[in-house]
Amino acid sequence: METIGDRLMILIKYLNYTADRMSKEIGVSKGAISKWLSNNAVPGSDPISKIILNHREISPYWLLLGEGDIVIQDYIKKESKEKSEDNETRPRRA
């Protein structure tokens, strides 16, 4: 069974981060991250909330429960639509 520590490792790789970068981003020690990744401790609600707020494309259900996909599909569709609209509204070069 996949643990939250396992999912954090997957997330760090998905974001192309290091454990050190994640620890700085959410304001915890490298030791705390290390404990989570080795399944010797679990993160509290504050660091999890920071991850979710900093990476809105990441599914909280996946992160907390291991259910569904790592990325929220509606977020991908919205982001793709916004990029398409940006391209349509930009003036074309002659």
What is the structure's pLDDT at 78?
58
Q: Is residue 33 part of a domain?
A: yes
What is the structure's pLDDT at 80?
54
* Domains contained in the chain, number: 1
Domain span including residue 27:
4-89
Least confident among 22-26, 50-54, 76-80: 76-80
Residue 49 belongs to domain with CATH number: 1.10.260.40
Q: Is residue 36 part of a domain?
A: yes
What is the structure's pLDDT at 81?
56
Nearest one of 60, 63, 54 to 25, comparing CA atoms? 54
Q: Is residue 94 part of a domain?
A: no
Q: Is the pLDDT of residue 43 over 80?
A: yes
Rounded to two decimals, the pTM is 0.77
